[in-house]
Amino acid sequence: MREITIRKQNAEQRLDKFLRRYLPEAENGFLYKMLRKKNIKLNGQKASGRELLREGDVIQLFFAEETLKKFMGEKEDALQAKPLPEKWILYQDSRMLAVNKPAGLLSQPSASGEDSLVEELRAYLLTDGGMTQEDFRNYRPGVVNRLDRNTSGLVLAAKTLDAAQALSRLIRERNVEKYYLAAVCGSMREERTVRAWLKKDEASNQVEVSGRDFPGAAEIVTGYEPLEHYRFRGQDYTLLKVRLVTGKTHQIRAHLAYIGHPVAGDVKYGRYSVNAELKKQTGFRRQALHAWKIVFPELPELPALSGISGRTLTAGLPDDFQRLRRLLSGSGEEIT
């Protein structure tokens, strides 16, 4: 039998939702059967699963330890990824942290078995970040906003359930301002906000963009401001400050390509000949897109996010992007 004492950061959620997180490999029907048979109790009493958990509540699981490990879906010593380096961490408090993700690293685990930011984050929190295996049983930390493998920059991660819910709500309701830096093909001179409609093809992991609504599509809104202009080997480029108003899969890359200015180096939505020449001349090997800043409003109603209330978090451009700018412009200045 295992007892789980609910901490403040895991309270204010239904018992059945907590159980699904704690035992992700157990089917819903099995969990409700165990509740009916009193193999799962709340504070020593029979429970339905609809109860709202409070700090100090105790859940009893009358399972064999082998069964628990099976339903938890991961051995307690299974976190084998290397911890993420502390130099990547831009901000950290007891409930969340912000990381400057390098290009080439997956945001979330995949079937390939490669390390991901989530796995390296969890390994860091277990070794250096003040979390224990018991903390992990109650809530598994994860990222709130994902970046494509070959996009660098700012990723938010939650250590606690209340922080994850609050961050997700802020992003979903568009109460944060998210800015990217993108080097795009062509000369762009005007600041604009553009709208279109986007639909993802799950099979190809690619999106379709149209200037008109069409079945299955969602409206997207992207703002941009030209910062720098380059002329390099006969090709025009523009460094844009991009505001991601909505947040759909591949939105910036596909939307800019749709209006005729694909992100430099983008193999999925970009221009093959331009990308090949850019790679040959500069050695730059990915899309020139970086998640740069997130601006948070004052958040008096969200105590879980008190540390970032009213703050701006910034992820400086990585070395490969800085080098690209210097080569394109002939300037030694850096953007931070």
- Say if residues 288 and 182 touch (Cβ distance below 8 Å): yes
CA 108 to chain centre: 8
* Separation in Å, CA 111 to CA 105, 106, 115: 14, 11, 10
- CA 202, 203, 206, 209 dihedral sign is negative
Cβ contacts of residue 268 below 8 Å, gap of 6+?
206, 250, 253
Q: At what angle do helices 15-22 and 28-36 cross, to 10 degrees?
A: 120
How much helix, strand and coil, in percent to the nearest 5, is found in the chain? Answer: 30, 30, 45
- 167 closest CA partner among 247, 250, 82: 247
User: Which entry of 57, 135, 148, 162 is annotated as an active-site residue?
Assistant: 148
* Phi, psi angle pair for 47, to nearest 5°: -130, 155
**Which two three-digit tokens encode residue 94?**
């007891």
Q: Please state, in angstroms and rounded to a whole number, the distance separating the CA atoms of residues 54 and 48.
A: 15
Helix (H, G, I), strand (E, B) or coil at 123: helix
The yes-or-no answer on residue 148 being catalytic is yes
**Which two three-digit tokens encode residue 87?**
């130099």
Q: Please state, in angstroms and rounded to a whole number, the distance separating the CA atoms of residues 209 and 221.
A: 12
* Phi, psi angle pair for 40, to nearest 5°: -125, 125
- 179 closest CA partner among 261, 125, 239: 239
Helix (H, G, I), strand (E, B) or coil at 86: helix
- CA 280, 283, 285, 289 dihedral sign is negative
- Catalytic site positions: 148
